[in-house]
């Protein structure tokens, strides 16, 4: 669970520095298909356009990361990294030519992981968590639509695809391990 605290502190510090620099760090956001902005693959989740953007991402991240972390820190780190990598690469390859910033690709990855894991693993615990996540975060599905030009629906989409892939893979692996143990 140290990952949650680390991400919180990092995002807040980066945001404060970005404010002090007049938003200059946003140039390190992800700019699709521009090799000169390749650093955006790593930096973009930790950059935010406003305090409200940062707070909304961090609150959702904290809740969803906590729920994923109930299966252990290693699982949380794996889903975090998978969501980060696939959302970054997906946006870089297919995103609109615009700076993409924010933690929402990873947030959508955690969200989709929890839902897919519940669907595939089908334990009481995973299903209860999946139902709770759908109840409180079901409206996230609207984030896949290109409604506002300033919202990176591509980040949401590729993050969710990454999380769903991770949820599917981990559920199959956990189910197989459970069957082996008998």
Note whether 161 and 85 are within 8 A (CB): no
In percent, how much of the chain has pLDDT > 70? 99
* Angstrom distance (rounded) from CA 176 to CA 101: 38
* Angstrom distance (rounded) from CA 131 to CA 152: 26
> Model confidence over 16-45: pLDDT tens digits?
999 999 999 999 999 999 998 899 999 999
Is 72 a residue whose pLDDT tops 80? yes
Element (H, E) at 90: helix 73-94
Which residue's structure tokens are 């000169």?
Answer: 36
Helix axes 124-137 and 51-69, enclosed angle (nearest 10): 170
* Angstrom distance (rounded) from CA 175 to CA 69: 18
* pLDDT of amino acid 149: 87
Is 83 a residue whose pLDDT tops 80? yes
* pLDDT of amino acid 180: 87
* Angstrom distance (rounded) from CA 87 to CA 58: 17
Q: What angle do CA 179, 114, 161 make, to 5 degrees?
A: 105
Label residue 182 by pLDDT band (50, 70, 90).
low
Q: Which token pair is 89?
A: 């690469």
CATH architecture observed for domain 2-181: Up-down Bundle (1.20)
Please indicate, yes or no, whether the overall pTM of this predicted structure exceeds 0.85: yes
Among the listed ranges 53-57, 125-129, 178-182, which one has the minimum average pLDDT value? 178-182
- Average pLDDT value for the chain: 96
* pLDDT of amino acid 137: 96
Higher pLDDT pick, 9 / 148: 9
Is 181 a residue whose pLDDT tops 90? no
* Angstrom distance (rounded) from CA 70 to CA 50: 30
């Amino acid at each position: 669970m140290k990952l949650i605290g680390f991400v919180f502190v990092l995002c807040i510090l980066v945001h404060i520095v970005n404010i002090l620099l007049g938003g200059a760090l946003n140039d390190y956001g992800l700019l699709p298909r521009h090799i000169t902005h390749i650093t955006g693959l790593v930096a973009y989740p930790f950059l935010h356009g406003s305090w409200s953007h940062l707070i909304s991402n961090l609150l959702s991240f904290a809740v969803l990361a906590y729920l994923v972390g109930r299966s252990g820190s290693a699982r949380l780190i794996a889903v975090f990294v998978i969501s980060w990598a696939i959302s970054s690469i997906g946006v870089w390859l297919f995103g609109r030519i615009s700076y993409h910033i924010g933690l929402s690709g990873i947030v959508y990855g955690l969200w989709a992981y929890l839902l897919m894991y519940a669907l595939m693993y089908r334990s009481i615990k995973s299903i209860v968590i999946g139902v709770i996540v759908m109840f409180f975060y079901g409206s996230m599905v609207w984030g896949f639509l290109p409604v506002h030009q300033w919202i990176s629906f591509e980040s949401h989409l590729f993050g969710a695809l990454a999380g769903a892939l991770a949820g599917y893979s981990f559920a199959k692996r956990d189910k197989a391990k459970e069957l082996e143990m008998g």
